[in-house]
Structure 1
Amino acid sequence: MPESRPTRHTSLSSRTLSLATLPLAPLYGAGLAYLAYHPRRSSERGHPRQYGLPSQELKIPFRPRKYIHAWLCPGATDRVVVLGHSLGLSKVRTLEHAKFLHDAGYTVCLFDHRNHGSSSQDPAWRGLGDRFASDIVKVVSHLRSARGYGAARFAVYGFSFSCFSSIWALTQPGFEVDALVCDSGPGHDVAPLLRNFLDAEHLPLPAPLRGEPARSIVTGVLCAVGPAMARASSDQWPPPALGKFARVPLLCMSGELDPVVPPSSVDAFAERFPQAETHVLPGAGHLLGLRTDPEAYADVVLDFLERAMG
């Protein structure tokens, strides 16, 4: 019996602290939604040369004095893969993916979305889904018009939340690609994924707000404001299986043990699209498919790209 007293005391203290910070919870939830799309800069360091990859540095403007930073790793001139990254990360995290793709003969372009890595800041708080999608469009357009890849086949490769941007880029007028690859996403609904993102501690939550009822309020506001900022509410996402959405070959991979974007959510999304393929990566967590089983992972991606792009 005495052993349970500290637990009860801790629980009571946590609830008291939570109640005291309750007025701040809605503001923090809204701020957290903004932070998700405008994260603190990653301290990760890396470069293509560490993987034996040839590279050219690109700065692709998205408005005056603002640019998308990218590395172009030239390979075949007729097949190009453009690599994104997840929220809060940078193109450094996709260097291992660039390596196996380049080894297979593809030209690879890794880029940082705005507000990430070495790309410029964009303080906007609305229409963010369109803005992140336009980053992809600008990278592909630049490679076609200014880098000699006008006749090449293109695949766009998204990771976690950038899977949503990769799909949403198809809404941009005139934007065409030959294949889409998605790792750890996209999910059928955005709000539950933000909740999972918070629960997995990918977003900061101070101790006073971790207890109830403050945590529920923070989570509720995050899950309402986050999709609204991205223009990804339930009546806008998933997109209808029409036009390019029903035509472009799509591979959706999910980790068997992914707590952020579970396979069930990815499958529910992919079921809407007749040309979509799904693959569950055994024993893999969120964004850990390549590191869990590098050979099997690469085989799945390269087989799909071969069939989709020739």
Structure 2
Amino acid sequence: MHNPCRAMVPESTTLTFDSTFKSHGENCAGTLMVPGAVERPPVIVMGHGFGAIRAAGLSAFARRFIAEGYAVYLFDYRNFGDSEGMPRHWVSPRRHLADWAAAIRHVRTLSGIDTGRIVLWGTSFSGGHVIQTAANDRLIHAVIAQVPHVSAIASLRQVPVRVTIRLMMAALRDHAGRLFGHPHYSRIVGRPGDTAALTTDECWEGYARLLPPAAPWENKVLSRIFLDLPFYNPLRHAHRVKAPTLIVAGRRDTVTPAHAAYRAAMRIPDCEFHLVDGSHFGLHLEDEPACLENIALQLAFLNKQVARPVRCRAAY
């Protein structure tokens, strides 16, 4: 890939490249977006939350980062979106963390960006992933985690007991079915009382608003995840994160409670914590005041912790 600075493109131009990588032998789809007229910009690696795809809800943040001169790399996990992997719709902390590690290895091989200044960006479920990934990779330059899942207990307390029992039964059915090639799926998002992963009042409308028209997304996930979730606690790894970290939580978040995010922030040696007056999905949606405040906090953090990108001089 050519250095975008040498191309002498207009400053407002964004150069976009398909950039796939391998994770455990399967192709993961990725997109690298580089701002025009910026010499070797820092790069922000972005992955989505529970059951989503890179086309859903990340573009609002990516556009703002690129406008400030940062490159962005978006990717789909295995079994999701444009990435390979069967069966489809397999949410797994272990597999997601492996994909994060593979994505970072890939980004470090790319030209035209500053691979010494890699920022991890995660939201909700992937907010926990970036904390745990940074704990294992001391070369990460900075971390942004918004409304992160850091504590299984805190998140599960938001789910009614009767729904939890149904999801556990679905998980057992999926594990039995996988032996015979018949996986069992549950819904990702539903209305209160539904058997789904996300069912609080804000979830049904909020999740739908993240999805662009005709997005290749289905409201289902392999039910086996519900036996993994009780054991996934990135909070336990927070004390090992050495990179400067920003955690933004929502005061009215009914999915990943703010108090758990605060506990994680207190364990990270160099962490900035902000509590925004918004819901879980309100911090994702750019027509919401909470989202605009969230983005402003993230840009301020980046400009403080990651040196501002250098603009190329125009060619005469």
In which range does the TM-score fall when normalised by the shorter chain?
A: 0.5 to 0.7
SS at match of 1:239: helix
Per-residue deviation, residues 257-298 of structure 1 (Å, max 9, x unmatched): 11001211211221112311111122x211322522254222
- Is the CA contact 1:186–1:252 (under 8 Å) kept in the aligned structure 2? no
Please name the residue that 1:71 is paired with.
31
Could you tell me how far apart the structure 2 residues matched to 1:127 and 1:88 are?
Answer: 6
- Is the CA contact 2:134–2:143 (under 8 Å) kept in the aligned structure 1? no
Per-residue deviation, residues 235-258 of structure 1 (Å, max 9, x unmatched): x7421623xx1x211111111211
Could you tell me how far apart the structure 2 residues matched to 1:241 and 1:232 are?
Answer: 16
Per-residue deviation, residues 71-120 of structure 1 (Å, max 9, x unmatched): 11012423111111111111112011100000000001111122222122
Please name the residue that 1:308 is paired with.
305
SS at match of 2:84: coil
SS at match of 1:270: helix
Please name the residue that 1:263 is paired with.
258
Q: CA deviation at 1:154?
A: 0.9
Please name the residue that 1:156 is paired with.
120
Q: Report the more deviating stretch, 110-119 or 160-169.
A: 110-119
Change (3 A) 1:296 1:126: closer
Whichever residue aligns with residue 279 of structure 1, its letter is: H
Structure with the greater alpha carbon radius of gyration = 1
Could you tell me how far apart the structure 2 residues matched to 1:147 and 1:94 are?
Answer: 23
Change (3 A) 1:53 1:204: same
Q: Report the more deviating stretch, 251-260 or 174-183.
A: 174-183
Q: What TM-score does the superposition give when structure 1 sets the normalisation length?
A: 0.66
Per-residue deviation, residues 91-150 of structure 1 (Å, max 9, x unmatched): 112011100000000001111122222122255999943321221222222122143436
Equivalent of residue 105 in structure 1, options 64, 69, 72: 69
SS at match of 1:87: coil
SS at match of 2:246: strand
1:190 corresponds to 2:168:
no
Please name the residue that 2:45 is paired with.
82
Please name the residue that 1:232 is paired with.
232
Could you tell me how far apart the structure 1 residues matched to 2:75 and 2:194 are?
Answer: 37
Q: Please list every run of 5 or more consecutive structure 1 residues that lacks an aligned counterpart in the other structure.
A: 1-50, 211-220
Whichever residue aligns with residue 239 of structure 1, its letter is: H
SS at match of 2:118: strand
Could you tell me how far apart the structure 1 residues matched to 2:29 and 2:263 are?
Answer: 34
Change (3 A) 1:123 1:194: farther
The alignment of Structure 1 onto Structure 2 pairs a total of residues equal to 239
Per-residue deviation, residues 33-57 of structure 1 (Å, max 9, x unmatched): xxxxxxxxxxxxxxxxxx9843111
Q: What TM-score does the superposition give when structure 2 sets the normalisation length?
A: 0.65
Please name the residue that 2:79 is paired with.
115
Please name the residue that 1:296 is paired with.
293
Q: Please list every run of 5 or more consecutive structure 2 residues that lacks an aligned counterpart in the other structure.
A: 1-11, 165-186, 197-222, 308-316
1:272 corresponds to 2:267:
yes
Query: Percentage identity across aligned positions?
Result: 20
Change (3 A) 1:285 1:223: same
Whichever residue aligns with residue 79 of structure 2, its letter is: N
Could you tell me how far apart the structure 1 residues matched to 2:14 and 2:113 are?
Answer: 19
Q: CA deviation at 1:151?
A: 4.2
Please name the residue that 2:17 is paired with.
56
Could you tell me how far apart the structure 1 residues matched to 2:91 and 2:74 are?
Answer: 23
Indicate the structure with greater helix content.
1
Please name the residue that 2:246 is paired with.
251
Could you tell me how far apart the structure 2 residues matched to 1:121 and 1:165 are?
Answer: 20
- Is the CA contact 1:191–1:226 (under 8 Å) kept in the aligned structure 2? no
Indicate the structure with greater strand content.
2
Change (3 A) 1:170 1:124: farther
- Is the CA contact 2:249–2:275 (under 8 Å) kept in the aligned structure 1? yes
